[in-house]
Amino acid sequence: MNLEHANHKAWRKPFLLSIGLIAFGLLSALVGYFVDGHVHFVASWLTYSVFFIGIALAAVFFIAVHTIAHGGWQVAFLRVPEAMMTFIFFGGIILIITLLGIHDLYHWAHEELIDPNSEYYDPLIAHKAPWLNVPFFVSRTIVYLALWIVLAMWLRNLSQKLDETGNLRYWQRIQFVSGLFLAVFAVTSTLSAFDWVMSTDPHWYSTLFGWYLFSVVWVSMIAVLILWVLWLRKHGINPYIRDEHLHDLGKYLFGFSIFWAYLWYSQYMLHWYANIPEETAWHLLRFKEHRILFYLIIILNFGIPFFALMSRSAKRKPWVLTTVALIVLIGHVFEVWLLVHPSVYHAHHLDHWTFSLVDLGALSFLTGLFIFVTMLAMKRAPIAPEKHPYFKESLTYKT
Amino acid sequence: MQGYESPLRPVLIKGEKTYKDVTRDILRPILGKPSWLWYLGLTASSLALLWGLYAIGRTIFFGIGEWGINRTVGWGWAIINFVWWIGIGHAGTLISAILLLFRQKWRTAVNRSAEAMTIFAVMCAGLFPLLHVGRHFVVYFIYPYPNSRGPLWVNYNSPLFWDVTAITTYFLVSLLFWYIGLIPDLAIIRDYTKSAIKRKIYGALSLGWLGSLKQWQRWETISLHLAGLATPLVLSVHSIVSFDFATSVIPGWHTTIFPPYFVAGAVFSGFGMVLTLLLIARKAMKLEDYITVDHIEYMNKILLATGSIVGTAYLTELFIAWYSGNIYEQYAFWNRAFGPYWWAYWIMMACNVIFPQTFWIRKFRRNLWWTFIVSILVNIGMWFERFVIVVTSLHRDYLPSSWSMYFASWVEVSIYIGTIGLFFTLFFLFIRFFPVIAISEIKHILLSEMALLKRKKSSSVVETEN
């Protein structure tokens, strides 16, 4: 295996950055715990562990879907999503630890709500109890994570074997596992979104929510991918990355930002139009208590990428791509916050705080860990799958 | 699009061909005499069309009372057929716009006929709301323009009006896209035909195309711009059709997953129809060298993907109906599966969810007979999907005293048959007078495909796709 790239001097920077973020994250989460309180603390860790697991999961989806569709252009930087997906394991551990605070996170986890003799009896939550109960919820969480981790590691393993041997039998197996993953993903992505995020408000429901949350993490994954690809190219660590790759990734960021807006609008507009209180309550809470964030995410996630990335030349300029990718990431960081926190506070009858120290702590810790894990995984495999059957296509294609 | 291509990829044109071969093969049905099969097909479909016209005449003369709809089920076959036809059109737009952006070269063999199909399908679709409004003599009121009727404007808050806007746009853009794509090919026919009248007509239609560098450059630019315009249309048109239902408060209609799920279903049904048409056309017109088994396999993969998305959406709806705790939602879905229209629900489930799943296996994807059967089943299944959505949600509403059943009258059935007649009449005329495959676009990929063929022959790599 050719691992020369692992000795490149430039790796020091992301290493130091990730250590710094982890240290800062731990410190501010700790301080934030005492400033903001227990509920806010667990809500932040839930939000951002789900967000980064989602990004890692979207990376597996990226690989699987391009394999199945016989895409050739992405091969030069395929090792980046392959590295990103190793994070599911680490994010999963943090999520499971966070679930120790399940009673603070999820209103439905309180036994008295489903006891008909209790004064707090809630018939709706009692109706959902066969699905929303602590043992089943935790087992489901473990099953989702286990399935994703096994399939992702299998893909990574096969990809490296293909690299060592050049035997196309491994390529066939990669296709098989990709198909398997997509079938598993179709079910688990929606259910996990319902469980982890939607059930923070157990009264509210939306059939689109699973696909909507997928669009959030998918766009975020593309933004992270762009940042890594640009960095690898800037330092010459991956010499195969060309302007064409940037252009196509820019198209993805542009196109899927519109796709995100489409799904956001579909969900919001249909609830707004039908005006059924059970459904509008969820949106109203966010609109009333966090109006600035409510509008801000639309500008950051749709307005800016839409106008900034429209022209061809913009998609080929590293500084434009970096800026837009960062803006989109910030937008989705705020957005996932907005999906979880208001519901959790509302269930506790707490005041509606905005983004604060403890959120920054969880976010920077997980960002640091994500960078660290991805970096390590990239160093442990050749920087490009040179024996991939479509490798040469990736080096010569034109957009 | 140029550059190295892996020998793992299939060659999209069978046999060693030159530019001249391409022109000759594709123009053969236009320049030669049509076979008796073509006359038979045209006659049969025109008769169906005439029958439909008679039923339309009755509807206009006697009114909507000729239909089976009633006070409870106010939307019947008309809206079902409307949504079904609009959905079928989506494959054409997806192939010509989205697959162009995704650099799928195989689209070049199927885009022309799929785009033609889109236009004809939208025409058939547009007929139904036109008839259903009842007052046909004032149907132009739907267009908002400053008028002499006092301050009388359309209701901009109504999704039905959004629909009119979306579909008009869709039709115009699809027509433009199709026609502009045809221009270089029409010029080829002009240059090849021996008849003076035909030369005049095709000459006028080709707008004086000479094939100069400047013209090609302009043509490429406009094609790309139209593709950019058509891409959001693929998503928006059927999303807006879904808003007709989803903005209401009717159980089974009001659900947020509707927009993307309708779009996936539309693409699914569109590819069902494209496959049905092309499997016949490639055989009848001897175009097997251009529409290969690999093309069929690609389309079957799209069928599998969109069918699975639709299946996931069905299951999500069922789950949320239970999860919501809303008794009306729960009843609506129970009634779909086990109520008086249970057969429609299970036909839909079998045709849309179960049969396309066989395409996970390569053998089934490449079996033309099986593909043909599944493509027909998909057309049927998607019709029943709209039947299930429209009829089962309406016939038992909130008030049990107004529950009723709905069965279509022979007039409704005849209008539907008439639109199928219209569709196939136009399609038969299209394959007679226009090149069914985009000649210029096939020529665009000819060099790279022939290079790939050469490399495949010299390379020791065996076919290893699963």
pLDDT at B465: 42
Report the chain B residue with the minimal C-alpha distance to residue A190.
B316
Q: Which residue bears the tokens 């999907």?
A: B385
With respect to residue A399, please indicate whether it lies within any of the assigned structural domains: no
Which of B257, B308, B315 comes nearest A208 by C-beta? B257
> How many other C-beta atoms are found inside a 10 Å radius of the C-beta of residue B462?
9
With respect to residue B149, please indicate whether it lies within any of the assigned structural domains: no
**Which H/E stretch holds residue A257?**
helix A243-274
Residue A200 DSSP one-character state = G
pLDDT at position A201 over 80: yes
Q: Which residues contact B161 (CB under 8 A, 6 or more apart)?
A: B142, B154, B155
Cα separation, A246 vs A241, whole angstroms: 8
Pick the closest to residue A184 from A150, A158, A207 (CA basis).
A150
- By CB atoms closer than 10 A (0-12, 13-18, 19+), residue B212 is exposed
With respect to residue B153, please indicate whether it lies within any of the assigned structural domains: no
CA distance A219 to chain B (A): 17
User: Which residues from B are below 8 Å from A399, CB to CB?
Assistant: 103
A interface test, pick of B157, B256, B315 with most A CB neighbours within 10 Å: B256
Instruction: Give long-range contacts, CB 8 A cutoff, 24+ apart: A114-121.
Output: none
With respect to residue B59, please indicate whether it lies within any of the assigned structural domains: yes
CA distance A22 to chain B (A): 38
Chain A (269-308) residues lying within 8 Å, Cβ to Cβ, of chain B: 269-271, 273-274, 276, 278
A interface test, pick of B161, B324, B459, B464 with most A CB neighbours within 10 Å: B324
With respect to residue A256, please indicate whether it lies within any of the assigned structural domains: yes
Cα separation, B214 vs B217, whole angstroms: 5
Cα separation, A376 vs A374, whole angstroms: 5
User: Which residues from A are below 8 Å from B259, CB to CB?
Assistant: 208, 262, 266, 270
pLDDT at A3: 84
Residue B461 DSSP one-character state = P
Between CA B385 and CA B390, with CA B387 as vertex, the angle to 5 degrees is 110
| Contact criterion met (CB < 8 Å) for B313 and A207 | yes
| Contact criterion met (CB < 8 Å) for B316 and A190 | yes
B interface test, pick of A201, A203, A245, A266 with most B CB neighbours within 10 Å: A266
Token pair listed for A43: 């809500």
pLDDT at B459: 67
C-beta of residue A365 within 8 angstroms of C-beta of residue A29: yes
Angle subtended by helix axes A168-196 and B293-323, to nearest 10:
20
Cα separation, B10 vs B452, whole angstroms: 9
Q: Which residue bears the tokens 């799929």?
A: B114
pLDDT in tens, A114-146: 888 988 899 999 999 999 999 999 999 999 999
Q: Which residues contact A229 (CB under 8 A, 6 or more apart)?
A: A77, A80, A238, A241, A245, A246, A249
Tens-binned pLDDT, residue by residue, of chain B (466 aa): 457 888 888 888 888 888 888 888 888 888 888 888 889 999 999 999 999 999 999 999 999 999 999 999 989 999 999 999 999 988 888 888 888 888 888 888 888 989 999 999 999 999 999 999 888 888 888 888 888 887 788 888 999 899 999 999 999 999 999 999 999 999 999 998 888 999 999 999 999 899 899 999 999 899 888 888 888 888 899 999 999 999 999 999 999 999 999 999 999 999 999 999 999 888 888 888 899 999 999 999 999 999 999 999 999 999 999 999 999 999 999 999 999 999 999 999 999 999 999 999 999 999 999 999 999 999 999 999 999 999 999 999 888 999 999 999 999 999 999 999 999 999 999 988 999 898 888 888 888 888 888 888 876 555 444 3
What range does the domain containing A53 cover?
4-389
Token pair listed for A336: 């996932």
**What's the structural domain count of chain A?**
1
**What's the structural domain count of chain B?**
1
Residue B443 DSSP one-character state = H
pLDDT at B464: 45
> How many other C-beta atoms are found inside a 10 Å radius of the C-beta of residue B36?
7
Q: Which residue bears the tokens 């290493």?
A: A15
CA distance B302 to chain A (A): 10
Local structure of A133: helix, strand or coil: coil
Q: Is B418 left (phi over 0), alpha (psi -120 to 50) or beta?
A: alpha
CA distance B5 to chain A (A): 6
Q: What are phi and psi of A356, to 5 degrees?
A: -140, -165
C-beta of residue A377 within 8 angstroms of C-beta of residue A82: yes
Reported ipTM: the value is: 0.93
User: Which residues from A are below 8 Å from B2, CB to CB?
Assistant: 397-398
pLDDT at B1: 46
Q: Which residues contact B335 (CB under 8 A, 6 or more apart)?
A: B341, B392, B396
C-beta of residue A28 within 8 angstroms of C-beta of residue A361: yes
Cα separation, B262 vs B243, whole angstroms: 10
> How many other C-beta atoms are found inside a 10 Å radius of the C-beta of residue A358?
27
User: Which residues from B are below 8 Å from A140, CB to CB?
Assistant: none
Token pair listed for A363: 């976010």
| Contact criterion met (CB < 8 Å) for A262 and B466 | no
User: Which residues from A are below 8 Å from B239, CB to CB?
Assistant: 262, 266
Number of H helices, E strands in chain A: 17, 0
Local structure of A307: helix, strand or coil: helix
With respect to residue A289, please indicate whether it lies within any of the assigned structural domains: yes
Which of A169, A274, A399 comes nearest B247 by C-beta? A274
| Contact criterion met (CB < 8 Å) for B320 and A251 | no
Pick the closest to residue A212 from A197, A225, A230, A229 (CA basis).
A197
Instruction: Tell me the H-state helices in B285-326.
Output: 293-323
Instruction: Tell me the H-state helices in B105-158.
Output: 107-132
Residue B14 DSSP one-character state = -
Alpha-carbon torsion angle B148, B149, B150, B154, nearest 10: -110
What range does the domain containing B65 cover?
19-142+169-442
Size of interface A-B (CB pairs under 8 A): 107
Percentage, residues of chain A above pLDDT 70: 100
> How many other C-beta atoms are found inside a 10 Å radius of the C-beta of residue B21?
14
Pick the closest to residue A57 from A20, A24, A95, A22 (CA basis).
A95
Length of chain B: 466
Using a CB–CB cutoff of 8 Å, tell me whether A187 touches chain B.
Answer: yes
User: Which residues from B are below 8 Å from A131, CB to CB?
Assistant: 323
CA distance A172 to chain B (A): 6
* Max Cα–Cα distance, chain B, nearest Å: 77
With respect to residue A398, please indicate whether it lies within any of the assigned structural domains: no
**Single-letter residue type at A383:** I
Pick the closest to residue B307 from B353, B341, B347 (CA basis).
B353
Cα separation, A326 vs A342, whole angstroms: 25
> How many other C-beta atoms are found inside a 10 Å radius of the C-beta of residue A95?
21
With respect to residue B101, please indicate whether it lies within any of the assigned structural domains: yes
**Which H/E stretch holds residue B165?**
helix B159-192
Pick the closest to residue B78 from B237, B249, B244 (CA basis).
B244
Pick the closest to residue B144 from B131, B160, B161, B158 (CA basis).
B161
Q: How far is CA B127 from the centre of its chain?
A: 16
Q: How far is CA B338 from the centre of its chain?
A: 31
Cα separation, B296 vs B365, whole angstroms: 8
User: Which residues from B are below 8 Å from A73, CB to CB?
Assistant: 103
Cα separation, B363 vs B359, whole angstroms: 8
Q: How far is CA B271 from CA B190, B305, B378, B385, in A?
A: 32, 11, 9, 16
| Contact criterion met (CB < 8 Å) for A399 and B248 | no
With respect to residue B57, please indicate whether it lies within any of the assigned structural domains: yes
Which of A270, A392, A399 comes nearest B247 by C-beta? A270
pLDDT in tens, A242-275: 999 999 999 999 999 999 999 999 999 999 999 9
Local structure of A116: helix, strand or coil: coil
DSSP-assigned letters across all residues of A40-63: HHHHHHHHHHHHHHHHHHHHHHHH
Percentage, residues of chain A above pLDDT 90: 83
pLDDT at position A2 over 90: no
Range with the largest mean pLDDT of A300-314, A347-361, B12-26, B99-113 = A300-314
With respect to residue B238, please indicate whether it lies within any of the assigned structural domains: yes
